[in-house]
Amino acid sequence: MTAVDLTNPDNWRAEHDTHDEESDWYDTPSADDTNPALDDDIEPQYTDVVGWVEGWFLPIIRRKVTDTAGSGQSWDARWWAYPEVVARLIALHYAWEEARASDQMSAMSSWWIHHLEPHLRIILDGENGPMANADRTGSWMGWPALAGEPVPVDVLNVIAPTFE
């Protein structure tokens, strides 16, 4: 079995696919296709994650959050102090803006199911999530970063080849 160069769009379709060549649903969009979510003329509703969290996320998302650290669902009003939470909220914000600007009627439903819900399960996880031990005192600042050791050069060359 030979490796397929997936960086080349011509290789995205497997040789064994049996789709109808005339089918619109299977075709990869061309650069000429217009997609409102990718259009430079579309202005985001919220220009940054802070605006989105304060203007949309906090007023809309309503979940039972416990005051007991380490159980149920946890949320810390200092969400910005947790790097993983910030990274996930940025990803959610970007995907939300794309869905909002989409001309697909199901885009927002897809965003809720495929983006928001999986991220919220992690963010609000009161046992193992990034804010799991948060309490009203504000003394909990999150779990320590995962440990890591430098990758040996011979392994790095295999798992992280450079692109030229």
For the stretch 84-118, pLDDT in tens is 999 999 999 999 999 999 999 999 999 999 999 99
Res 35 pLDDT > 50: no
Lowest model confidence (mean pLDDT) among 5-14, 39-48, 97-106, 145-154: 5-14
* Helical (H) or strand (E) element with 47: none
- CA pair distance 96, 44, nearest whole angstrom: 10
pTM of the model: 0.68
Asked if the structure places residue 72 within a domain, the reply is: yes
CA distance readout (Å), 72 to 6, 61, 143:
42, 16, 17
Domain of 101 in residue numbering reads as 50-134
Counted domains in the chain: 1
Asked if the structure places residue 158 within a domain, the reply is: no
Asked if the structure places residue 149 within a domain, the reply is: no
Asked if the structure places residue 96 within a domain, the reply is: yes
pLDDT at 86: 96
Asked if the structure places residue 14 within a domain, the reply is: no
The model's confidence at residue 26, banded by pLDDT at 50, 70 and 90, is very low
Question: What would the pLDDT profile of 66-80 be if each residue is shown by its tens digit?
Answer: 877 777 899 999 999
